[in-house]
Amino acid sequence: MTRRRRLLLVGTTVAVLALSGCVSLPESGPVVDAGGDGSSSDEVACCYLPNGPQPGESATDIVQHFLEAMQATPIQTNVAKQFLTEAARASWDPEQETIVYGERGTVRGETRVSVALTDAHRLDSRGVFAGPLPPEESTLSFRMTTEDGEWRIADPVDALVVPQTWTDEHFSSVNVYYVDPTARILVPEPVSVPRGDQFATALTRSLLSGPGPGLGDVSRNFLPPGMSIGLSVPVDEQGLADVALRGDASGMSAEEAELAAAQVAWTLRQDPTIRSIRLTADGQALPGQSSLVRIEQGVQYDPADFASSTALFALRDGRLVSGRVDAMSPVDGPPGQDDYGFTEFGVNLDSTLVAGLTEGATSVLVGSTYDPEGSLEQVLSGATSLLPPVWDFADRLWLVDRTPTGARVTLVEGTGKPRLVDVPGVSGERVRHVLVSRDGSRLLSVVRRSPRVGGETRRTRDELVASRVQYDDRGNLIAVQPAQRLPWPTGERPRIKDIAWRTPTSVAVLYPVRNVVQVRAIVVDGSPASLSAASSTLTGDFRYLVGSPDPAVPLYAASPEGYIELSQNRTPESSDVGLATLTYTG
Amino acid sequence: MAERSPRGALRRGLTFWRRSIQARVVASTVLLSAVVIAAVGWLLLQQTQEGLLDNRVDAVLAEAANETAEANRGLTRVPGTDVDVGTQLNDLVDPIKLRGAARGFEVVLAGPAGSGNPLSAGGTRSSPGLDVSSVPQSLQERFAGPAGPGWTFTRIRVVQPDGDVREGPGIAVGSQIVLKADGEIYTLYYLFPLDEDAETLSLVTRALLTAAGVLLVLVAGLTWLVTRQVVTPIRLARRVAERLAAGELQERLRVTGEDDLARLATSFNQMASSLQKQIRQLEELSRVQRRFVSDVSHELRTPLTTVRMAGDVLHDARRGFDPATARAAELLQTELDRFETLLADLLEISRFDAGAAQLESDDVNLVDVAHRVVDMTRVLADQRGVAVLVRAPEHGCLAEADVRRVERIVRNLVTNAIDHAESRDVVIQVEGDESAAAIAVRDYGVGLAAGESAMVFNRFWRADPARARTSGGTGLGLSIALEDTHLHGGWLQAWGRPGEGAQFRLTLPRRAGGVLRQSPIPLVPEDSQELV
């Protein structure tokens, strides 16, 4: 081979290499490790991962372990599923509801295993309190069959069955927010949902499922029906929650979208990890809205009414005064200037109007608090014994007259005529106290009952009852739903001295226990989750609570001699105002 | 016609290749440059490809990790009571599919791991139109059980909504997630096409190829120009040298500048001048010598004629002299004969030198010539006891030649052979064909030493200076024979070996002015030991 030929060969080889080796990109190759640890999720491997069924377990063991497996944390049902038959595994739907029990009886039986639950109640799929479990359902019964020689449950109840102590630890009592029928204020609905990573998802799912069929005229959901959130609501490290709704939102008006965004913001701001929200429907922002929703958004729809005054009001020498508890001055309006003989009064939310009870709480005068030239008008007279008047956000004045035949509830809307309202469970009862939520959707009453058992009158006791109020879309009252008794957390039901709003969905209750008084918060849906709520014990003749649903303002307890701020719990301070009349707006 | 055929063109091309340094230098430079450019280009492309792929792989892995992290984040937030596997899988993969469609990657969700089903068996959720066989088997095998994320190169095949099939290289990344609804491990495969990178690479390749082509043309042009600067003066020098060789001694190179080529030209010119001068001197010297010999010969003729006449008188009257004087008269006559012969030879040589020799050509049969010469030299042969034999073919061996000169050549050769035969036979061989005729004279005498066969034709040359000139030769016979042969355009060659004798061969062309290609008789005789 000559030198020239060698050169030619080398040249050709290089050229071929150049043309073939470089111009194409590889289409195969070895599998390369990409680093990372693959299937691990962000979940913290903490808490409790129960064991699956062990070989040779008896039927009762299986049921017992099944009930324990449902207490896995973070909440998951994969282990619990292993206790079910193949068919039951496919059909079991623990998402339907949650059964929360106080205590569990002995597990008995073989082919049919039963277990009795005490103090059990239900949370529906939205996390809304669905009432206590009726006695006939309080015993759970499981049909057992054998599969591959092992006992398995064939008909599990479609619910997550967990003890109260467990829900206290792993569930949060929070609110989802809907809107009142006139679309002016948010209406909170208490729910109990798992906290932790699933919190935002559970809240959003609950919100999307709406206020429930019975609350159609009480509150409205501005998130269109049929919307869903897909897998979950992920929250990134910066606290951005991605609410990617699935469903067509193009039919929404800008106002509706604004309300929907406010609902989402108010609902999700309860998750402390969330700083902002990306709200989209089918990948698009809601009409007229930015896809990025601040969690402060919709403050004007605050259920505690953002425009309401945080000032305190009281009567001093028959005149209306306002200000801080230790520095009060007369209002500019006529009630501040003259003594109109008010015994009790109520100031509307923006503190422009006052309704005062006169003539031994038989008539009501309404007048301006700020206009010195204004006059007071009598809106009601000839009553028997009125409870302090209550205002809601729409300046509707609620008056309850305790007649010998029981309470009569009267509603005064604006300058219209007083309208007698039938409140089942309250009208005609011995009503001691009444509160109306600022959104106007709830009427809370303390009803005194003297049950007669076999012709013998038992010790009287007070019941806290809640009624939902229905309006049409112009704010006209349609009806008030029958009052629901809010179960008292502890066994013996005490006499209630006073109640006051603590949050938009809870009230503080002042009641005596032997020689002291206690203040306890009760959630307005009646769920026993409030058991965990702290109660404070006070020594002294405290008779009154002064509170507001705005959590930012202090809660006071007052006696005829002095008052204390409950969160500080110092020695009572005296005041020159009539402490019995001390009140916030509403 | 033959010159126009491809073969002819090839031959012309090869001739051009052999003769043109410029073509060879340009071709070699272009070839070497092509090799270098190809190597550098290959290296560049390799680097570009590696860089592109590295970047792309990094970006792809980051994006895949991001998607998986997002999926995991989503799964973490799923309520634990959500047990609908199908819905959860759809909810998981649908947003990834959407993002994939927007960002240009495909996704396959397969599982649960450990089921042992290949992707092609179905049960996967994937981007619309994606052929799930785009996920390489090796990657599927990796994720048959729990495994960390991995990636490999693949070929992605997607059927577009309009029915077109998009196929191309890509990167397949796989990573696993644990589904909340059933606690099983599922695998997410992300398929990222490398279309953009392929385009970039082909752009770079095209640019490099274009640049390489342009560069090669430039290199060829530059080399052509540079070699031309060197080759042109060399060609000029060649032409001048050819003319000098042709006798145009006054030709000179034109000298421009002071570079190496200019100095070469100067030296060349100096060499040419020096040669010209010496050749002139030699020519002059030769002319003077010839003139001298010619003049001496002519001048000697007149006194010789007188001496000859006186000698003839003495010779004729020798019978009246005493024996010693008569012997002297005979000796005088003999030496006078030799003197005349010598003078005639010298004159003949002078005629050759002066270029005055004339040829009277006719068809001559060399066989006849051989026989005639044998007859002429019979007396001398007999005196020496040498038998001269003729080996000739039946047919005649004709050549167009001057019979007188051919006879003289042959006679010279035979006389010379008899002189050196040392009483052994002398053989004359005649042969002829259509293009040439030859006559060879072979003797078996002392022979010729190495190198002597070229010198035998020199004037007055003798192998052994001590040896007497017994046959009365003048020492010019072979020289004249050679001149005569050259006059015919023939060959006269000698072969000899010490102790084996010698052979002289005369070859004449069949036609006057014809060109000899070969001789009918080999120069080395068949009976010599050289052939054994």
Query: What pLDDT does residue B341 have?
Result: 85
Q: Do A11 and B35 touch (CB under 8 A)?
A: yes
Query: What pLDDT does residue A14 have?
Result: 58
From B39, B75, B150, residue closest to A31, measured CB to CB:
B150
What is d(CA A445, CA B57) in angstroms, rounded to the nearest whole number?
Answer: 68
Burial of B16 (0-12, 13-18, 19+ CB in 10 A): exposed
* CB-CB neighbors (< 8 A) of B32 in chain A: 7
Residue B201 · residue B45 · CB < 8 Å: yes
Give the CATH number of domain B78-193: 3.30.450
Domain-terminating residue out of A158, A188, A220: A158
Q: Do A283 and B42 touch (CB under 8 A)?
A: no
Interface mutation vs chain A, best among B52, B61, B76, B88, most A CBs within 10 Å: B76
Q: Do B78 and A232 touch (CB under 8 A)?
A: yes
Read off the pLDDT of each residue in B361-382 and give the average, rounded to a whole number.
91
Query: What pLDDT does residue A532 have?
Result: 47
Tokens of B102: 């927007």
Sign of the CA dihedral with A454 first, then A456, A461, and A464 last = positive
Confidence band of B532 (pLDDT split at 50, 70, 90): very low
**What DSSP string describes A338-393?**
S----SEEEE-TTSSEEEEEETTTTEEEEEESS-TT---EEEE-S-S-BPPPEE-T
Shared fold status for B261-354 and B362-531:
no
Residue A564 · residue A576 · CB < 8 Å: no
Query: What pLDDT does residue B514 have?
Result: 85
Same-domain status, A176 and A283 = yes
Task: Decide the pairing of beta strands A477-480 and A32-33.
Answer: unpaired
A23 touches chain B (CB under 8 A): yes
Residue A243 · residue A228 · CB < 8 Å: no
Q: Do A30 and B152 touch (CB under 8 A)?
A: yes
Same-domain status, A152 and A216 = no
Residue type, B527: D
* CB-CB neighbors (< 8 A) of A232 in chain B: 74-79, 91
* CB-CB neighbors (< 8 A) of B77 in chain A: 197-198, 200-201, 231-235
* Residue B112: cis peptide before it, omega within 30 degrees of 0: yes
Residue A136 lies in a domain: yes
Q: Do A10 and B35 touch (CB under 8 A)?
A: yes
Residue A389 lies in a domain: no
Which distant-in-sequence residues (6+ apart) come within 8 Å of B453 by Cβ?
B493, B494, B495, B496, B502
What is d(CA A50, CA A77) in angstroms, rounded to the nearest whole number?
Answer: 10
Domain-terminating residue out of A301, A335, A353: A301
Same-domain status, A149 and A175 = no
- H-run or E-run covering A410: strand A406-413
From A31, A77, A233, residue closest to B81, measured CB to CB:
A77
Same-domain status, A143 and A223 = no
Q: What are phi and psi of A340, to 5 degrees?
A: -95, 5
Q: How many CB atoms lie within 10 A of CB A150?
A: 16
* CB-CB neighbors (< 8 A) of B212 in chain A: none
Query: What pLDDT does residue A4 have?
Result: 64
Domain-terminating residue out of A95, A126, A158: A158
Which distant-in-sequence residues (6+ apart) come within 8 Å of A384 by Cβ?
A362, A401, A402, A403, A404
Query: What pLDDT does residue A26 have?
Result: 85
- Please give the residue of chain B at the shortest CA–CA distance from A70: B81
Which distant-in-sequence residues (6+ apart) come within 8 Å of B36 by Cβ?
none
Q: Which CATH class is domain B261-354?
A: mainly alpha
Query: What pLDDT does residue A183 have?
Result: 92
Q: What is the largest CA-CA distance in chain B?
A: 173
pLDDT digit string, tens, across residues B428-465: 999 998 889 999 999 998 888 888 888 888 888 877 66
Which residues on neighbouring strands pair with residue A384, listed in sequence order? none
Please name which of B189, B205, B93 lies closest in space to residue B132, comparing C-alpha atoms: B189
Residue B44 DSSP one-character state: H
Same-domain status, A148 and A69 = yes
The residue ranking higher by pLDDT, B179 or A493, is: B179
- CA of B462 vs chain A CAs: smallest distance (Å): 52
Q: Do A23 and B45 touch (CB under 8 A)?
A: yes
A484 touches chain B (CB under 8 A): no
- CA of A162 vs chain B CAs: smallest distance (Å): 12
pLDDT digit string, tens, across residues A183-229: 999 999 999 998 888 899 999 999 999 888 888 889 999 998 888 88
Residue A396 lies in a domain: no
Confidence band of B2 (pLDDT split at 50, 70, 90): very low
Residue A84 DSSP one-character state: B
- CA of A3 vs chain B CAs: smallest distance (Å): 11
Tokens of B212: 């390489």
Q: Which CATH class is domain B362-531?
A: alpha beta
* CB-CB neighbors (< 8 A) of B42 in chain A: 14, 17-18, 21-22
Q: Do A21 and B46 touch (CB under 8 A)?
A: yes
What residues make up the domain containing A131? 59-158
Question: Coil, strand, or helix at residue B255?
Answer: coil
Q: Do B80 and A75 touch (CB under 8 A)?
A: yes
Same-domain status, A182 and A296 = yes
The alpha-helical segments, DSSP class H, found in B422-517 are 477-488
Q: What's the start-to-end Cα distance of chain B, in Å?
A: 47
Query: What pLDDT does residue B180 have?
Result: 83
Residue A451 lies in a domain: no
* ipTM of the complex in this document: 0.75
Same-domain status, A183 and A257 = yes
Residue A437 · residue A504 · CB < 8 Å: yes
Query: What pLDDT does residue A568 have?
Result: 78
Query: What pLDDT does residue A15 have?
Result: 60
- Please give the residue of chain B at the shortest CA–CA distance from A161: B81
Enumerate residues 159 to 218 of chain A having a beta carbon within 8 A of any beta carbon in chain B.
160, 194, 197-198, 200-202, 205
Residue B11 DSSP one-character state: H
Same-domain status, A178 and A146 = no
* CB-CB neighbors (< 8 A) of B149 in chain A: 33-36, 38
Bin A61: left if φ > 0, else alpha if -120 < ψ < 50, else beta.
alpha
Same-domain status, A187 and A113 = no
A17 touches chain B (CB under 8 A): yes
Bin A347: left if φ > 0, else alpha if -120 < ψ < 50, else beta.
beta
* CB-CB neighbors (< 8 A) of A26 in chain B: 53, 153, 169
* CB-CB neighbors (< 8 A) of B72 in chain A: 40-42
Strand ranges (DSSP E) for A148-185? Answer: 150-153, 160-163, 171-179
Q: Do A37 and B148 touch (CB under 8 A)?
A: yes
pLDDT digit string, tens, across residues B205-256: 899 999 999 999 999 999 999 999 888 888 888 888 898 888 888 888 888 8
Domain extents in chain B: 78-193, 261-354, 362-531
Read off the pLDDT of each residue in B317-340 and give the average, rounded to a whole number.
88
Number of domains, chain A:
3
Burial of A211 (0-12, 13-18, 19+ CB in 10 A): buried
Enumerate residues 278 to 307 of chain A having a beta carbon within 8 A of any beta carbon in chain B.
283
Q: Do B31 and A7 touch (CB under 8 A)?
A: yes
Interface mutation vs chain B, best among A10, A14, A22, most B CBs within 10 Å: A22
Residue A388 lies in a domain: no
Residue B510 · residue B399 · CB < 8 Å: yes
Contacts 24+ apart (CB under 8 A), A25-29: A25/B49, A25/B53, A25/B153, A25/B169, A25/B194, A25/B197, A25/B198, A25/B201, A26/B53, A26/B153, A26/B169, A27/B153, A27/B154, A27/B155, A27/B169, A28/B136, A28/B152, A28/B153, A28/B154, A28/B155, A29/B152, A29/B153
Q: Do A95 and B81 touch (CB under 8 A)?
A: yes
From A37, A40, A197, residue closest to B77, measured CB to CB:
A197
Q: Of A48-52, A391-395, B118-122, B526-530, where does mean pLDDT reach its minimum?
A: B526-530
Point out the residues of chain A with pLDDT beneath 70: 1-23, 36-46, 490-492, 529-534, 569
Please name which of A202, A180, A15 lies closest in space to residue A123, comparing C-alpha atoms: A202
Average pLDDT, chain B: 87
- Please give the residue of chain A at the shortest CA–CA distance from B99: A283
Task: Decide the pairing of beta strands B106-110 and A544-546.
Answer: unpaired
Same-domain status, A499 and A560 = yes
Residue type, B397: C
Residue A389 · residue A344 · CB < 8 Å: yes
- CA of B233 vs chain A CAs: smallest distance (Å): 27
Same-domain status, A139 and A250 = no
Which CATH number covers residue A149? Answer: 3.10.450
